[in-house]
A and B are shown apart, each in its own frame.
Chain A
Amino acid sequence: MKAKRLVIDVKKKEKHEEEFEFTPSAVLEKADEGVDFEKLKKLIKYAEAKGWLRV
């Protein structure tokens, strides 16, 4: 697939557009599920209250 590239030559101080052969790449997820610390704190408090956990 052809796509457009904007080229800035910093030495010659000139810009031009050119076509290049482009293969779309996978869009990666920005992050995994992660840790919600507010939920984690609630979970710890709940587990402490139930006597399941001692911190």
Chain B
Amino acid sequence: MSRLRDIIHYFFHHNFTKATVKRVHERIVRKEDRSDFNSALEQCWQDSSSKSIAAQTDVALLQLQKKLGWTSPEQATKKQWGYWIRIAALWIIPLVSVGSSIYFFREMEEARSVAMIQYFVPKGECQRVILPDKSQVYLNGGSLLVYPEQFNSEQREVFLAGEGHFSVSSDRKSPFVVKTKAVNIQVYGTVFNIAAYPNDAFTTTMLEEGSVSVEINSTSTNYMLIPDDILSYNNVTGEVTRSRVDSRRTSHWRDGFLSFESERFETVILKIERSYGVNIRVMNPSYSANLITVNFNRNETIERVMQVIKSVIPRLEYIIEGKNIYIK
């Protein structure tokens, strides 16, 4: 008698660490007792569906209609607005704090005739947005994306403050441009990641597939990137560095991982703040010389993450007080 039924049933109704999820998935794909799996899953099918999932149905239907290419415009916009207005309530405060948003509104005045959609992702979350041209953007926590309801024919323009992973649908006639405070990225149907948080020291563009050109706003210099290139612009000194990475590894934040490969202490701290929605005060500047390489998955508690950081940096001490963390 196999225990697969009990395993599936228990697994289905609880959440687990990545490691356990992996063990169960490995167990499922064994071919020994498929019929047990089938009947256990059928039971789950009977029990599945919850209110919280039902709440996602309308948005999912819109996405599907877009994918199938049959959005009837009147119907869709009406519904979309209801959704956006609900979300709008969430942005008001973050919007004020994102100082650079003023910059966007100036830009937007020029194109007043087009309705703009602003999508804000709170800290500690990661969300996916489908743009009017079916391009897909994963936004990391604390990011703001502004884009028009309809792209105009010459150029597809979006504005980003924060981090986004873009999969852009190819359209030779209408280039796709991501504008940020420090750089503009011109895209030709491709997959790339850009981190342009207003408070970060660096704006980094990383290319996974295709090609992009990055224009530094202050100097109007252009850089063409090839896959696995990472271009860092120092927002303070204006210095530009280009290096090579394994881009698949570094964009893991979309799947809930936090991966750091020889990253600066400050960067690591900022990313932890964003992923966990906490405030970290670093009271001692001497840690900034450290380069950190470590991987977490998002099921890790913040307590555990801080323990690991502590074990990586000798002599580091910290206190957690609710949402505030002090590093001495």
A and B from one complex: no
Interface residues of B (CB under 8 A from A): none
Interface residues of A (CB under 8 A from B): none
